[in-house]
Structure 1
Amino acid sequence: MDSKSPVAFGSLPLEIVDEIFSALPTAPLLNLRLVNRQLGAIATAWAFRHVRLGARQGCYDHQHFVWIAQSEKLRPLVREITCDTWLGHTAKYCDQFAFNHPAEFLNALPLIRCFHNLTSLHLRFSEHTKHEHIDAMDTETDNFRYRVLDTVFHCLAGTWSAENQLEMDEKVLPYSFEAEYVMAPAEVSELGPIPIKELTVSNLADYHDERFTESEVFKKVISSSSLRDLKMSITLQEVEKDHDGEFQPADALWFREKYVMFESLPRTWLSPSVAGNLRVLSLYSRDYWGWNPKMDFRAIRPGSGPDSGFPNLKVLALGKYIFSHEWQIEWIESLGQMNASGGLEELYLDRCPILVQARHDAPADYGTTIVGRDSDGNSVEVSNEGYYQMDAILEDDLFEPYMTYEDYPLRWHHIFPRWRESMKALKVFKMGHSSWRSAPEQTMDLPIATSK
């Protein structure tokens, strides 16, 4: 280091001070802004690097968010935003009271378009959800979630307008929300799209909402070449109880929308253009998934070449994913063939069991499915053996005629030696039980580690 280099805190170079400040919470950073001009600049950059917009009742996040968005000096410093729709412990989600849409949150949300240096965006919904056609008055509804997602993605795409937002709100939130959008500075409207690198969606509803996933704004943002890090967790629809507090019959647990949602992931959130860009993928669910509801990773950029699956992926984290078939082991081995290491570098398995035996309440599926075309244009056909017939399992009167049991031979002591030999680029392998709950941005810290 040159003796004439600027220093702070006595003999510490400013680069070291910057590293120290990066580990400090917001409160001391705000105090350090008052020390001197040099330290003030560093402290300010870190103090406003991450801002939060919350909907919790009695919380004033929205005022802080609006103030920063309208500040010409502060908004360029923001690199990370968390939008949390949780209304707080006192909110009425699961009783006779109606869901109260957070007006201040919804009116401030369009100001995301002010932060054009944004690199990371975290959307965190409530764990509680119901679909509109099931008397969804007391939880976050599909219409509310659709409104939030559509607004955020229009901001990221640079296509938000007050006229379109008002039309949306009058359509999906009638009589339950008064639109008073906070206006952004005039220069913001001319800045265009925001190319974020990281997107987190916590508690995405187990519902395939075509209004959003088939929209042009969704496809534009999710397919952006800048998006390299995608973390998602999926929550479950609330199950109604009768007047005695008992759960309704079993058919209330088998909503077709959930199965359609998992089945559609390879062409929506994990479409070929998305999968080709990702370096980090975290995919969690509040309940077990993979076998039932079925999620076939072979449908994501199908084929066997180096550009199939997730060719550039470096980090994979799965939560409550069920292993049942040999192809799943082969699929993980094939990830990241086109990244700098030639394979997956980090693998996290959080509460991911192996299926040993399953009871089929519907006929087994011995057919095949064409999951798409490979890079050469050839159809890719995969076997469905070991799975159930989805249409049959969702029908009534299916339990007695088709009650069968099936054993699955896959075991961990078969998998680990194989991965030791085949996954030469793997540097971190952790499996166990984390406390992630519903925030997938926290899914990279499992307490139990098994290295190769």
Structure 2
Amino acid sequence: MPIRDIPPEVLSLILGQLLEDEDEEFPIVLAHLRNARLVCHQWDRLATAHLFRTVALNLAAEGGMPWRPMINSPTIQRVVRDLVICSLPDEKEFEIYETSDVDDWVTEDDDDDTSGSSPFGVAVNACVTKLPNLKSLQIRFSEQCLGARATEWWEDDEDTESISHRLQTLKTVFRAMLKRHAAVGEDNLTSTIRSLTLKNLQNVAFPPEFTSSDLYKDVIKHVTELHLMIAHEYNEPGPDHDLDRIERQTYEPYLQKELLPPLARQLRSLTLTFTECWGVMPAHFDGKGLVFPNLRTLTLGEFVIGHHDQFDWVLAQKSLETLRLDRCFIASHLRVRDDQWDQWRQHIPTHDWHQYPEGSFGFEGDQIFGFSGTWEAVYDRIHQELPKLREFCAVHHPYYNNFDRRKSMGASLSMLRYIVFESGLCPSPWIQANEHDGEMTFGNNDPAVRPRDLMGVRRYGIKQSLNRARETRLGDARAFGDLLRAVRERR
């Protein structure tokens, strides 16, 4: 069949494959699509729809596309479906602000709409309200954030966004969304924004005065797809990932009990990803009480299972048709310093855990636990308890998650599927297994408590092997295969 005889819908799908993944920082390569536009008028029209389906507003980027010509182009206006708004770190906002009342804008009250007069506010308002077919919106905050604590010793970073500045950015975007929703049906606006993505959202609870405001309620009521990547304070010169910050202990309960429940009935798609492993330590998330009666797609990133009932909340969502597990793990061994455990024990359950005696694995003066959970049990329950599931994905990239590529995830039984927690290590207490053979490191890997010598020192022999992936290989592989076959048969 000659190319000219291919139906336009099929040709569009083919050209869409020219969008090429590169890496996690620059996930899309556009050069091939640009070249395709030069072939003929038909290819130009079809390739343009893919090329400008997603556009980004980034006032801090050098050499970025000017936003005014972009939104004033009828061709681009017609094809844009997704808008990415990159927030400005605090100092960048000062640099581009053209008036003298920048401090008034940064600290404005909820009912003050002066943010629309800033360069950032003007650009956001224009992009959100003038793209007629816009359906989804993403706010990308900076990865660098600072929690609520003394900062005298903090090494300043020009990319750090304060809590107040992040909230102000969110309010500015929400005000623009509110204006758009009020104008749908006028000025050629045909769509309501129903998909909201917040990338690098700081793990700090929204203030009640914001979530109870008409602004928040009027915008969020339209959202049926919510995608969250949660960032946490990370003091790189530390070099630890700031495990003891209070937000690490309080945000997951807030997410489970306050942020998600009011949205539960309206959501059809939900993504929960953190920039660090979450769910077990130093806060507990078991999803109890969360019921999403209309949820079709759930993506979990960096989620760790540490109790036999911790995945029950996922299995309770009987409407699920797609489940994606992106770098999700089962914790096999956990070590917590005594001083940390004194703080955490009130909100971290230990049911299902076996406690090892002091001296096990070569650890002194620590709380040491083991968990016997297996992926075989999890896969079997997914197979049996999610009867509508038609797509299942599970991947474990050794370095980064697939938050921006979740729709293209595959399924594989990785050697990284089990993990250990060791609070005495930096930069992260979550220690991955070897990606090639599954070998793990947890102290000296020996659960035996060795006797002390005359000097009071325990003597250890040759380091033992610790490999949960190998121990559970047969059962995990059998359950994984059964699940994939069942999912394929339902399509």
What is the CA distance between 1:212 and its match in structure 2? 4.2
Corresponding residue of 1:60 = 64
Gaps of 5+ in 2: 20-29, 97-118, 352-364, 414-479, 484-491
Q: How does 1:407-446 map to 2 (within 5 A)?
A: 407-434=370-397, 437=400, 440-444=403-407, 445-446=409-410
TM-score normalised by structure 2 residue count:
0.61
2:327·2:401 contact (CA, 8 Å) conserved in 1? no
Pick from 212, 225, 228 the counterpart of residue 224 of structure 2: 228
- Are residue 140 (structure 1) and residue 140 (structure 2) matched? no
Structure 1 residues 363 and 154: alpha-carbon distance in aligned structure 2, compared to 1, 3 A threshold: closer
Tell me how far 1:237 sits from its aligned partner: 0.6
- Structure 1 residue 151 and structure 2 residue 131: aligned? no
Measured against aligned partners, the alpha-carbon deviations of 1:8-55 in whole angstroms (never above 9, x if no partner) come to 943233333333333345556556656665554434433332211224
In the alignment, which residue of structure 2 is the partner of 1:362?
Answer: 342
1:384-439 per-residue CA deviation (whole Å, 9 max, x = no partner) reads 7438xxxxxxxxxxxxxx96555444333333333333333333333341268366
5 Å-filtered alignment, 1:15-414, equals 15-25=9-19, 26=30, 29=33, 38-61=42-65, 63=66, 65-85=67-87, 99-101=91-93, 103=96, 107-111=122-126, 112-131=128-147, 134-135=150-151, 138=157, 139-158=160-179, 195-210=192-207, 212-224=210-222, 227-239=223-235, 253-266=243-256, 268-272=258-262, 274-291=263-280, 292-300=282-290, 309-335=291-317, 337=318, 339=319, 343-357=320-334, 359=336, 361-362=341-342, 385-386=349-350, 404-414=367-377
Please tell me the residue identity of whatever aligns with 1:287.
E
- Tell me the distance in 2 between the aligned counterparts of 1:278 and 1:56: 33
Partner of 2:7: 13
Match of 2:354 in 1: none
Deviations 1:296-333 (A, max 9, x none): 41132xxxxxxxx1222232222222212233233222
5+ long unaligned stretches in structure 1:
1-6, 88-97, 162-185, 301-308, 368-383, 388-401
Task: Give the percent of matched residue pairs that are identical in Structure 1 and Structure 2.
Answer: 23
Q: Which residue number corresponds to residue 392 of structure 1?
A: none
Shift in Å, 1:158: 1.6
CA distance in 2, matches of 1:267, 1:221: 21
CA distance in 2, matches of 1:348, 1:256: 27
Tell me the residue number matched to 1:169.
none
- The number of aligned residues is 358
Check conservation: 2:184, 2:191, Cα contact below 8 A: no
Cα RMSD for the two superposed structures: 3.9
Shift of 1:204: 1.0
| Change over 3 Å in CA distance of 1:410–1:9 after alignment to 2 | closer
From the superposition, tell whether residues 407 and 189 of structure 1 become closer, same or farther in structure 2 (CA, over 3 Å): same
Structure 2 counterpart SS, 1:46: helix
The aligned counterpart of 2:477 is none
Q: 1:114–1:439: structure 2 CA closer, same or farther, 3 Å change rule?
A: farther
Specify the alignment match of 1:378 in structure 2: none
Match of 1:181 in 2: none
- Distance verdict in 2 for CA 1:213–1:261, change over 3 Å: farther
